[in-house]
Amino acid sequence: MKAKLIGILIAISIIVLAIYSFVKRKEYVEKEQSAKLYPQVLKATYSKMGSIKDGEIFLGKFEPKNEATISSRISSYIIYIAKEGTRVKKGDLLVKLDNSNILSNINALNSNARALSFQKESLQENLKAFKTKYINQQKIYKRDKILYDNKAISEQALEQSQDLYVQAKAQYEGAIKQIYSIENQISALGSQANALEDDLKYATILAPFDGVVSKRYLKIGNLALPGKPLLDLEGVGNTYEVYVDVPESILPYLKVGDEATLELNGKAQEAIIETIILKAQNNMVSIKLLTKNNDINAIPDMYIKTILYKGTCDATLIPVNAVNHTSKGYYALEIINNKIHWAKFNPLARNDKYFCTKDISPNTLLGLSNRSEMLSLQESESIKVIR
């Protein structure tokens, strides 16, 4: 009985302690003040009047002004080809092809032509005798025909005279035809030899301009085939080309001689529009730019940021890090009475530093922030401004 009483007292003590702890905790929570919320801190600046170029960004293909893929015009084995990275001057040797077979064929053709010439000379000597014999037999036949008509010789004698005349004529005309045939053969051999002489020139390929061998497709000992690339030659010099495809809608704003800007890896340099090439499809225009030097360290055939200018904008300038661009438009981070106001505007032009617009007044206080921070800033949210 006594033990049971002790257990009851212990249970009641535990319950009393639990209730006491709960009451004290509630009092502590009620007395504790809520955490103080601090406003976000933004750097700020003012919009200003100014002027910027109205540029539109495209991708342009950067190429040296002189660039060529060197191919063979004949079929022959390579006995020399410049290695990749080789710098050459105009006229330096790039490729040497084996010309021994060409030389052998030229010699054979010339030898055959000389043999035919000797044969022609011999026939021409014989032709004189054949002609004399033909003329004499013609005279004899005419005389014998008169004699036969006057019954001075027999029909058999006339026939013999006629046969000799026909034979002499055929021999003479056959010699003429043979000489003519030989002349045609000599001419054909000469044409073949001339063609091989031209091929002989193509066995040696020289650099068409100063450059660097950027790629080699074949090696010494490989067979070069007509039209098959041997190597690529990149021009070295102070002039480069950039090709940009743009929509026709921008064409009214551009003309030959206009300036453009090329940018790569934080570096920039100027270029000039040299040619505007209309295309027959897709309503596109190809713009060819020229630029001096390669200050941006672009690699040939690389696509680089190319800015074409449509004019200038003279209005309010807003820093790019004070603007949030969403699917609904462009919004400036305006600050009014230390509160956020997203002011929508229509950009008339932009560059890497500013937007240009007439929708926002100069000397408007603007907050500066990065893209991720802007996404968390709400309309009418209180902020602290530092300058």
Of 308 and 15, the one with more pLDDT: 308
Same domain, 239 and 303: yes
Q: What is the pLDDT of residues 196-234, one digit of tens each?
A: 888 889 999 999 888 889 899 999 999 999 989 999 988
Same domain, 142 and 167: yes
Same domain, 77 and 153: no
Region 337-362: what's the mean pLDDT?
A: 92
Same domain, 94 and 208: yes
pLDDT of residue 385: 86
Query: Cβ–Cβ contacts within 10 Å for residue 191, how many?
Result: 11
The Cα 120–Cα 220 span in angstroms is 45
Q: Which of 293, 312, 331 is the last residue of a domain?
A: 312
Within a domain: residue 331? yes
Tokens 């010439």 locate to: 117
The Cα 77–Cα 203 span in angstroms is 10
DSSP class per residue in 268-325: EEEEEEEEEEE-SSTTEEEEEEEEES-TT-PPTTEEEEEEEEEEEEEEEEEEGGGEEE
Q: Whole domain around residue 80: which residue ranges?
A: 71-98+204-234
Same domain, 121 and 192: yes
The number of angstroms, rounded, from the C-alpha of 12 to the middle of its chain's C-alpha atoms is 92
Same domain, 245 and 213: no
pLDDT tier, 366 (very low <50, low <70, confident <90, very high otherwise)? very high
State both tokens at 167.
Answer: 């034979």
CATH number for the domain that contains residue 246: 2.40.30.170
Same domain, 252 and 377: no
State both tokens at 231.
Answer: 């190597």
Task: Write the CB contacts of 167 (distance below 8 Å, at least 6 apart in sequence).
Answer: 137
Residue 362 has pLDDT above 90, yes or no: yes
Within a domain: residue 180? yes
Same domain, 85 and 215: yes
Q: Which of 201, 224, 256 is the last residue of a domain?
A: 201
Region 73-78: what's the mean pLDDT?
A: 92
Within a domain: residue 148? yes
8, HSE (Cβ side, Cα atoms, 13 Å):
5
DSSP class per residue in 164-200: HHHHHHHHHHHHHHHHHHHHHHHHHHHHHHHHHHHHH
Within a domain: residue 21? no
State both tokens at 236.
Answer: 């070295």
Residue 238 has pLDDT above 90, yes or no: no
Same domain, 229 and 377: no
Task: Write the CB contacts of 143 (distance below 8 Å, at least 6 apart in sequence).
Answer: none
233, HSE (Cβ side, Cα atoms, 13 Å):
26
The Cα 315–Cα 356 span in angstroms is 6
Tokens 């193509």 locate to: 202
Number of structural domains (the chain) is 4
Task: Write the CB contacts of 72 (distance below 8 Å, at least 6 apart in sequence).
Answer: 95, 97, 202, 205, 224, 225, 226, 227, 228, 230
The Cα 204–Cα 198 span in angstroms is 11
Within a domain: residue 4? no
CATH number for the domain that contains residue 350: 2.40.420.20
Same domain, 75 and 220: yes
247, HSE (Cβ side, Cα atoms, 13 Å):
5
pLDDT of residue 334: 95
Within a domain: residue 8? no
Residue 272 has pLDDT above 90, yes or no: yes
Same domain, 77 and 224: yes
Q: Which of 288, 312, 336 is the last residue of a domain?
A: 312
Whether the pTM exceeds 0.85: the reply is no
Residue 301 has pLDDT above 90, yes or no: no
Of 283 and 29, the one with more pLDDT: 283
Within a domain: residue 47? yes
pLDDT of residue 144: 87
Residue 7 has pLDDT above 80, yes or no: no
Within a domain: residue 37? no
Same domain, 79 and 225: yes
β-strand partners of 356: 317, 349
